[in-house]
């Protein structure tokens, strides 16, 4: 296993905060130094969009990309976590680290001080306020608003540029808090508004549903790694690695895993859901736990799926006749031995059994977690249609065993050009895509709110045990 090293660790709030590093020289020869010392020194920041300690160890989009690049170089990694933008960029300028992978916006001003790698994500700066608070709809309405942004950030850089045209534009530069903390400050009503990148907002709005995107501040920008001036050989290596990383589909897979389930947001839905986690879920939690244990499925995932199906209403009924907590059809309920679909316990056990059955019938080449996403899609649209979509995925030159590729093919099931030649014909293929996204979103919010989770290794063992019992 490739060695990882992290600076001095300060454990708090379930994550690592790190400082300290070696001091390589600035300029040419940086790549040779990295290989000689056998270690890539990386500055990053502690956030869900960059680098954090998850249930199974270190994780985050930036972390995964850095690990891939280090593997390409054949070296280990040493992470330095700094949440102050000024210090972070100053240390890169001095050459205290080889690169900064921290969700850094590539701006013209910064490009004069640092080298930047290829852009890997496009974001927008968004002015964020609370729904029941300040409501500016343009820069001209920011005057007099309690606006706080990160000091020396790309947000402050843009505000300085805007002040040339809006002389009364004022803000407070924050040096101690990060973007996520400023968003929480807005949510708690302690400040009026802040500015944050759209990817950061997308994740955090699920936790703070009262946050409102007031307006977008300027044109889209690109995130990229920053390196010291003169490190041209290192930059060339980053470009070569990134081209392979992008062409292999690894970048698309990364974005899907971290952001693929956060695109859908509905303020009313999320607010009600969070209340029902506290008020309605406790009545049924033991039922979900027993079903999850019996069928090798995390109970929190079953609960999230049930909420998507019925909002945890055991008497729920759809216009098509499906009923109960897991919205079973009458034929499916009979095949599962469910005598009363309106009985919450029977419905939950039946739904879990059916989901496990669908998962067991998928091709063995489909691995977790994609296997569960495929099973959820089949629960929604039928296994035959999922198999049709896999066929289309393969015809498109994509991987039929990956959810990120299958979800591109599923909507084609409603296009006559495609469905007329498929064994199972027409289907509203966009629905299972939305269904899986919403279940994943509800699942993520539930685990965040309750502070729970099933590590991937334990999840895999649950699946193996359930398969052995079937």
Q: Which residues are catalytic?
A: 309
Peptide bond into 240 cis (omega under 30): no
- Please, how many CA atoms are within 13 Å of residue 293, restricted to the half-sphere of its CB? 5
């Amino acid at each position: 296993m490739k060695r990882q090293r992290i600076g001095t660790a300060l454990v708090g709030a379930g994550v690592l905060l790190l400082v300290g590093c070696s001091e390589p020289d600035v300029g040419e020869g940086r790549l040779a130094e990295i290989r000689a010392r056998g270690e890539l020194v990386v500055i990053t920041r502690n956030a869900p969009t960059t680098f954090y300690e998850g249930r199974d160890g270190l994780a985050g989009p930036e972390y995964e990309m850095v690990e891939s690049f280090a593997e390409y170089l054949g070296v280990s990694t040493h992470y330095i976590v700094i949440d102050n933008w000024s210090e972070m960029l100053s240390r890169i300028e001095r050459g205290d680290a080889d690169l900064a992978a921290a969700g850094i916006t590539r701006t013209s001003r910064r490009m004069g001080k640092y080298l930047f790698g290829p852009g890997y994500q496009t974001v927008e700066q968004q002015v964020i306020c609370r729904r029941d608070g300040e409501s500016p709809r343009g820069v001209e309405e920011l005057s007099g608003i309690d606006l706080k942004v990160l000091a020396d950030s790309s947000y402050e850089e843009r505000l300085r540029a805007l002040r040339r045209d809006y002389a009364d534009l004022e803000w407070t530069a924050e040096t101690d808090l990060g973007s996520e903390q400023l968003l929480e400050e807005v949510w708690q009503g302690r400040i009026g508004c802040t500015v944050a990148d759209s990817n950061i907002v997308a994740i955090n709005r699920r936790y703070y549903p009262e946050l409102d995107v007031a307006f977008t501040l300027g044109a889209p920008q690109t995130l990229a790694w920053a390196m010291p001036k003169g490190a041209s050989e290192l930059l060339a290596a980053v470009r070569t690695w990134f081209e392979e990383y992008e062409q292999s589909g690894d970048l698309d897979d990364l974005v899907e895993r971290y952001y693929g389930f956060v695109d859908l947001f509905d303020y009313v839905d999320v607010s009600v859901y969070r209340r029902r986690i506290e008020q309605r879920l406790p009545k049924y939690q033991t039922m979900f736990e027993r079903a999850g244990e019996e069928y090798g499925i995390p109970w929190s995932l079953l609960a999230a799926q049930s909420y998507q199906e019925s909002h945890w209403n055991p008497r729920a009924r759809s216009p098509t006749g499906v009923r109960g907590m897991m919205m079973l059809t009458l034929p499916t309920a009979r095949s599962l031995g469910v005598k009363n679909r309106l009985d919450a316990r029977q419905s939950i056990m039946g739904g879990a059994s059916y989901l496990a059955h669908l998962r067991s019938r998928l091709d063995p080449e489909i691995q977790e977690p994609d296997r569960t996403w495929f099973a959820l899609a089949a629960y929604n649209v039928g296994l035959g249609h999922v198999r049709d979509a896999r066929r289309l995925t393969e015809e498109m030159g994509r991987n039929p065993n990956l959810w990120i590729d299958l979800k591109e093919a599923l909507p084609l099931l409603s296009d006559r050009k495609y469905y007329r030649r498929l064994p199972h014909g027409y289907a509203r293929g966009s629905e299972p895509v939305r269904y899986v996204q919403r279940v994943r979103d509800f699942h993520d919010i539930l685990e965040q709110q309750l502070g729970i989770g099933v590590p991937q290794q334990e999840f895999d063992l649950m699946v193996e045990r359930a398969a052995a019992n079937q």
